[in-house]
Structure 1
């Protein structure tokens, strides 16, 4: 039996142990030798012992059925045991237990076996009632437990929209473990009889308790508050669930307590029907998808179409003699649901008042925002909407230089002054990391010393990055607000929409951190801590401020925006995205400008299918996002382990770890790898709670330089062309494998098979290669692994695009439009005229964005001075695609005449001032010019 350390997830451990139990019990029925039988019996005993504790958290097969199987085993009824275990394992694999009762007796016949979900069509599965489980927390004996479960489930009626089974646990610890272990749980009933501690917590399950506050917080709960505190703690880890509190306390006692996810309090009541109806109503509230439902109903209506869109109702297709294949491919429903009308139960995305408005409100609840807006043309547009709504010419924006290009173009549209921040470089892998907090604080303090802090409007960062680096969002916002209390934060979470539905990941999302800070700033403890630190720092040096974890004033405004590509990491059609808002000043300051920006960038003919998919995608993650994200992370962890432990794969590949991608000074926990062959799995919680940067475990960056192929070649010529494996991110010597909520263990197994086949073929090639061929292979590998060009930092803007001599922020809009006139531009060849001009120490300024792909970040923006480091990097690039660069002409640059003319043009200034907010007294001498050291 595998040791517990071999598993990153208790769910996967449970599944594998049931499979192992099936194999062992089946083997016992095949008349093994005495020695084999003794060994098998020992294995079965050990598996029963391990599964015994786990099964108490699941409704199927249930504690009673599991105990019966163990008794049969003790009595030597091996055929009965094997039969029952086979039935259970099959039902767990196919999901049959969600549809019907599973008979476990050996003489029983499962008449509906062919009716399992795996055998049903999508249409038939859609007609079945969804299944879930209800957790009842009450310390009762076996008889009372059976009575409780019988009373709750006995209330079920044929007309109910769902079916559910009950799970009973006795303690707060058991309840917390259950909701983090059992993804089927959708509701919790907390009764007065619960106790504090569990008597059967395995090591792999114990680690779950930290997510809800840890043992210290649990031990501090007074007995009279067990029920309310459990509701509050569950809200921290599974906020989408519903809780119902049965209590004997008075209304006055309960009213002042934090009840978390509690939807209703029942006072000393055994009204099981009322409880049953409330449970169904709570789940139905999450199962609701108002716009998708409206669209389905619209498609059923007989209508006459006298507006735009010939394809509406499919008329232009059904009447055609030449495009019937399109109708056959897509089917009729997609055309029946196509319309440009905003009536008939539908709604307008630009002015929502009906089902779209309701769908956005439900999304806001699901993602923890104050307002949520749908977008049907991707997160690139979402980014431009937010930037345009919040910025105006003259505002200063601190922005990650290697963020998505939509942000750079957004700066052009807004006319903001851009102050680029440098991420730490990972030159060895030709990728950037993330922007250290010290770099951000340094820039803010610099702006303060220069008297420009009032114009600093926004900090814009990517969380998480394409390569999976995640910020400590709460800490970044706290320390920045300590310097600039009304700073606005835009977190580009295009690749992080799924994070909301995992307790470990959720703490590092923009919306969660915003809600935490809003609550924290109101507390007396925070005010006292702030005042004490202000006294301590009144004579602090600049260096001290950089090293101190700063506390913002209680009056700081929490102003947070997150843009998410729902279609990238959750269920949505292509280009389905969302904007989440948690801005205390949205109603008073931003709402009108946001509406105008939304109108500017949103199509007046949005795709209703995309909107419907966003609505359904939200419904899915509220009901099963916890399960799906957990399985997604499991798949990536399995991939890590399989590659790291395989001796052949180790010759040519390496999975990059947190230690490879995050410098030591940014990893306070000291965790270097999520998996090690000697130590097993590392619990993610500790490093995700403490470290400045963490690595998203669902992304696996594979170093492929050892194969002699660069990342682009490995992606296109090997994975895609030969094996049909699709990926979309590479660097010079790496490829990125991203798991998602649709990734299966079979997909991971196939990928490992492919990598092994590739490694075997490389072994064979090297075995048969001549001496010169081996030398050439070794040179290619060395070039990819050891001769990586250093990644250049942002150089500077030319003075023609600066406000003054001490400015670092540039007017990217001015540079962008200056290049519209061809007379202002020239082309220089990298290895010719550009190289010669640089050798003569001439100042050469880029007239366009230059974006090598891979890696896909801009190394030059309009108005940026070309440095020797940037030139060397471009000359060393061996990629075929560089956006903005024309190989036939060279690099587009500004002429000296254009630059001289631009220096005389007036600079824009902000028309409106930022609201006056209390600023902490951090007045210090002007800091020295900072140059971040490459790590």
Structure 2
């Protein structure tokens, strides 16, 4: 399309075609309504030209959607040429209304042109509406003629029966490329039917649509033979949207197609047009994902009359309905939640601790949805999940490599398991008082160090947070591959508490633990990998450590074992009640080595009275993401991208606030792609595909870190006194000079608009306050800004464990026993306090004394432990504590000071082995 034909706003300003589609339909409605008014000839011609421009932009987009449909859309221009402007305005208005309200999903006549001209589905009363069935779209891929398309549409419509649980509409595209664009663009698509006549290339030229193809290696498609277009499309869809059902029609012989890799193809139809069988298979496939075994069992239980003679007065709501004083509780929650309450030991429903019925089925469906071999539900949050995995895998004395600024549950897990901990330092972001993530070089260095010391056999696990609270995401595939090259049976625990949604976004999925475990396991079995490894092994035979640190390492396929665990807070980023979490497992040695220990750990940490409502919400949350997770996550990313752009390029907001870019959050050495920001005013949106494929770290777009230093408020004050108290905006995390906005699958464009309005209002108030300020007040403000921007203490690295808490002190490796230090601190007689004010600490250190922490010390913000039990207190840590202007520091009592071990206690430990000293 020529530039002169484009609407005023450049298409390049849109992050996604979904946003473009929505806005163009809105603009078309405004333009057609304007045309119905009395206009001068010039204004009428301008309006007609604008309508034609908008139709031209929408034409290639509407190819991929069932509503309003090709025939209806093509009528728009005809109505314009015929001068039927009232009819045109009506049909566009009703299409817009149906798209905005999603009413087309419940109206079986939404393709009826006369109905769209005369009325809208939204005009129907609730009484006259038919029963609303879940709606989806089926993508047919074949080079149909218009007559063939119309015939197939009528045939599939004739297959519908009143008892069908769902309703669907077909979408037709002619090529493999169009099919890939459709499954990435149209979130309504739940099923793909691939037929014989498809071609390779699309005839569409709209760049924003072809941006979806950047996630694939398009050059590789050029080598595919025409007879392989169908099977190759099946494989590609399995990579992009593995949740979709795919059916393949083929004229190849059974012998040719048997055993071929067809991705997630549910069934192959051989040279036959059995439309009823196809229709039934389409419904069956969606029904399988729609089924929520435990939620269904719980709703059925709630409807049964039951006599309650077990320990739960609230069950069936009896203790509430019979009460004179707490009836308001029943009114607030409604009765269903109490009708669905029962004891796990009373029968009628499954047990979380020993599942054999609907909970077992629900967990199996969750494993399929999240790409795991096994999935376990938790009603105690991801903190408990982390401890379960650590206890199941780690034995006393095992060495575990741990991200030092990970969630506190991991540190306590190390205490419970008796692990020898090697803390890994993340790269610091001193300007924002936060850490990034642990570089690959740091991990490899520690593993090689332990190998040189002869301790590699004791190394059991690597534990990392992915993604971090602030949105830094690891290259999971590379981390596991390189670590397995050094330690072939290393177990990985990925804390994906904030990353449960990632499985259902194609770009995000490639950086999740379960996806990469399956990918690596398949790769290591291939003859191509073995051949590549043999060449690599020959080249690296005599490589020194420095060479190994600089080289991308490859594991030995004869020795490697893929052992991966991921703990996810479903309730944090998907739909679940609070504390609903999942443990996902892809461990080749689970059955032989871990299953019994895992069962014991699960029994140890899981309540014998789990909340059935949480379990049901996990089941429903799984159903949702399998059927609409792709759509919701698409929109979630769009909202976050829009927020970034709006803040950083608003003339008033950007005076005081700034969204941190990729370059500010991730140093250049970890960004091979060179990407600096998601949006650039000169070049528009960056293509992030290369970064997510190659870079060591990437930034999760759904997390928006806002620097507030220009406002003169620290992060905690801005969060509580400005956002929450004055404007009712809630957020989770702050640092010294930033606040974190997290979009989620429930975030709407209205929510984003409100946040922008609030920031504009705050910026305007700051403007007015500074305009009226005296010279002294302005200097005070400038001093506050400078303190938040420049006078920030460097983040301290982990110092080291005292020799008293190291089983092999003096041999150059850094592991320490925090369990012994943790429990030694239970004896008050072996502890004392030292204030951080004044110079008492400096005096003690000057004498040569090593001050050793008895506990975890965690300032909020930033929220990571700066001291752990058994760690030597460094001058850098004290300087950091003194510079922090926070009131909440866990493990520290300001009136007493830091709690440390006495010299006598440490001397006694150094005189004999740690374990003996504790007995």
Task: Place the TM-score, normalised by the shorter chain, in its bin.
Answer: over 0.9
Shift of 1:562: 0.2
Aligned to 1:446: 449
Q: Is the aligned partner of 1:184 residue 2:182? A: no
Q: Structure 1 residue 406 and structure 2 residue 398: aligned? A: no
1:83-130 CA distance string (max 9 Å, x none): 1111101100000100002354389543752458xx899xx99x6210
Going from structure 1 to structure 2, the CA distance change for 1:107 and 1:442 (only over 3 Å counts) comes to closer
Q: What's 2:822 paired with? A: 816
- For residues 106 and 159 of structure 1, what CA distance do their matches in structure 2 show? 26
Take 1:107 and 1:384, find their aligned partners in 2: how far apart are those partners? Answer: 58
Q: Which residue pairs with 1:531 in the alignment?
A: 534
The count of residues paired between Structure 1 and Structure 2 equals: 903
Secondary structure of the equivalent of 1:491? strand
Candidates 639, 647, 650, aligned match of 2:643: 639
Q: Distance in 2 between matches of 1:349 and 1:442?
A: 42
The C-alpha deviation readout for 1:692-728, integer Å capped at 9, x for no partner, is: 0000000100000110000000000000001010001
Partner of 1:886: 893
Indicate which of 246, 267, 274 corresponds to 2:249: 246
- Give the conservation status (yes or no) of the 8 Å contact 2:714–2:737: yes
Aligned residue number for residue 616 of structure 1: 620
Q: TM-score, normalised by structure 1?
A: 0.95
Query: Does the 8 A contact of 2:94 with 2:117 survive in 1?
Result: no
Spell out the pairing of 1:209-288 with structure 2 (5 A cutoff): 209-211=213-215, 213-288=216-291
1:571 aligned partner: 575
Residue 402 of structure 1: how far off its partner (Å): 0.2
The CA deviation at 1:201 is 3.6
Give, in angstroms, the shift of residue 210 of structure 1: 3.0
Assess, with a 3 A threshold, how the Cα gap between structure 1 residues 196 and 774 changes in structure 2: closer, same or farther.
same
Aligned-pair CA distance for 1:150? 1.4
Distance 1:535 1:517 in 2: 22
Asked if 1:198 corresponds to 2:202, the answer is: yes
Match of 2:905 among 890, 898, 909: 898
Correspondence for 1:677 = 681
Separation in 2 of the partners of 1:860 and 1:320? 50
- Distance in 1, matches of 2:347 and 2:64, equals 46
Tell me if the contact between 1:829 and 1:835 (Cα under 8 Å) persists in the aligned partners: no
Using the TM superposition, name which of 400-409 and 836-845 deviates more. Answer: 836-845
Question: Per the alignment, in what secondary structure is the counterpart of residue 227 of structure 1?
Answer: helix
Q: Structure 1 residues 220 and 856 mapped into 2: Cα distance closer, same or farther (>3 Å)?
A: same
* Pick aligned residue for 1:650 from 642, 647, 654: 654
Distance 1:848 1:179 in 2: 52
Which residue of structure 1 lines up, in the alignment, with residue 55 of structure 2? 48
Greater CA drift, 360-369 or 634-643: 634-643
Deviations 1:130-151 (A, max 9, x none): 0000000110111111111111
Q: Could you say if the C-alpha distance between residues 18 and 306 of structure 1 is closer, same or farther in structure 2, counting changes exceeding 3 Å?
A: same
Q: What secondary structure, in the 3-state scheme, does the structure 2 residue paired with 1:885 have?
A: coil
Deviation at 1:73, TM superposition (A): 1.6
Correspondences of 1:376-455 after superposition (within 5 Å): 376-455=379-458
Q: In the alignment, which residue of structure 1 is the partner of 2:85?
A: 78
1:173 and 1:485, CA in 2 relative to 1: closer, same or farther beyond 3 A? same
Instruction: Name the counterpart of 1:912.
Output: none
Bigger shift: residues 226-235 or 595-604: 226-235
- Contact map agreement 2:344 2:610 (CA 8 A) in 1: no
What's the CA shift for 1:47?
A: 1.2
How big is the alpha-carbon RMSD for the aligned residues of Structure 1 and Structure 2?
1.5
Do structure 1's residue 110 and structure 2's residue 119 form an aligned pair? yes
**Does the aligned pair in 1 maintain the 2:427–2:435 contact within 8 Å?**
yes
In the alignment, which residue of structure 2 is the partner of 1:852? 859
What is the aligned counterpart of 2:46 among 17, 21, 39? 39
Shift of 1:80: 1.8
2-structure distance, mates of 1:814, 1:222: 64
Q: Which residue of 2 aligns with 1:91?
A: 98
CA distance in structure 2 between the aligned counterparts of 1:161 and 1:853, rounded to whole angstroms: 50
Q: Deviations over 1:488-540 (max 9, x none)?
A: 00000000000000001000000000000010000111111111111101122
- The answer to whether residue 353 in structure 2 is matched with residue 350 in structure 1 is yes
CA distance in 1, matches of 2:877, 2:39: 70
Deviations 1:157-210 (A, max 9, x none): 111000000001111000000000000000011111111111114211112123
| Pair 1:412–1:107, CA change in 2 (3 A) | closer
SS of equivalent to 2:575: coil
Contact between 1:80 and 1:105, CA under 8 Å: does it hold in 2? no
Partner deviation per Cα, 1:386-441 (whole Å, 9 max, x = no partner)? 00000011100001000000000000000000000000000100000000000000
Question: Are the structure 2 counterparts of residues 114 and 306 from structure 1 closer, same or farther at C-alpha, using a change threshold of 3 Å?
Answer: farther
Pair 1:106–1:612, CA change in 2 (3 A): closer
Matched residues in 1 for 2:793 and 2:17: separation?
A: 43
Cα 1:283/1:107, change in 2 over 3 Å: closer
In the TM superposition, residue 341 of structure 1 has moved relative to its aligned partner by 3.8
Could you tell me whether the CA contact under 8 Å between 2:805 and 2:818 is conserved in 1?
yes
Counterpart secondary structure, 1:735: strand
Structure 1 residue aligned with 2:743: 739
Which deviates the most, 598-607 or 534-543? 534-543
- Deviation at residue 45 of structure 1 after TM alignment: 1.6
Are 1:143 and 2:147 an aligned pair? yes
- Write the distance in 2 (CA, Å) between the matches of 1:529 and 1:153: 52
Contact 1:80–1:106 at 8 Å: present in 2 too? no
Match of 2:459 among 456, 459, 465: 456
CA–CA distance in structure 1, aligned partners of residues 230 and 868 of structure 2: 57
d(CA) in 2 for partners of 1:559 and 1:106?
A: 58
Supply the distance in 2 between the matched residues of 1:252 and 1:702 (Cα, whole angstroms). Answer: 59
Say whether the 8 Å CA contact 1:850–1:882 is kept in structure 2: yes
CA contact (8 A) 2:705 2:738 kept: yes
Instruction: Answer with 22-31 or 574-583: which moved more.
Output: 22-31
Relative to structure 1, the CA distance from residue 135 to residue 873 in structure 2 (aligned partners, 3 Å threshold; closer, same or farther) is same
Q: 1:137–1:169: 8 Å Cα contact kept in structure 2?
A: yes
Q: Name 2:4's counterpart in structure 1.
A: none
- How far 1:41 sits from its partner (Å)? 2.3
SS at match of 1:30: coil
SS at match of 1:105: helix
Who is 2:311 aligned against? 308
Deviation at 1:679, TM superposition (A): 1.5
SS at match of 1:870: helix
Post-superposition CA distance 1:306-344 (Å, at most 9, x none) = 001100000000111111110110000000000004565
- The TM-score normalised by the length of structure 2 is 0.97
Instruction: Report the equivalent of 1:322.
Output: 325
- CA separation in 2, counterparts of 1:619 and 1:269? 32
Offset at residue 29 of structure 1 (A) = 1.7
Q: Residues 97 and 120 of structure 2 are in contact (CA less than 8 Å); yes or no, is this contact kept in structure 1?
A: no
Q: Deviations over 1:223-269 (max 9, x none)?
A: 11111111110000000000111111111111131111110111111
Hey, what's the Cα distance between the residues in 2 that align with 1:430 and 1:829? 24
SS at match of 2:114: coil
Whole-angstrom CA distance in 2 between matches of 1:112 and 1:376: 42
- The separation in 2 between residues aligned to 1:111 and 1:701, in whole angstroms, is 42
Aligned equivalent of 1:508, options 505, 511, 516: 511
Report what 2:3 is aligned to. Answer: none
CA contact (8 A) 2:472 2:697 kept: yes
**Residue 10 of structure 1 aligns with which residue?**
17
Is the counterpart of residue 791 in structure 1 residue 795 in structure 2?
A: yes
Deviation at 1:665?
Answer: 0.4
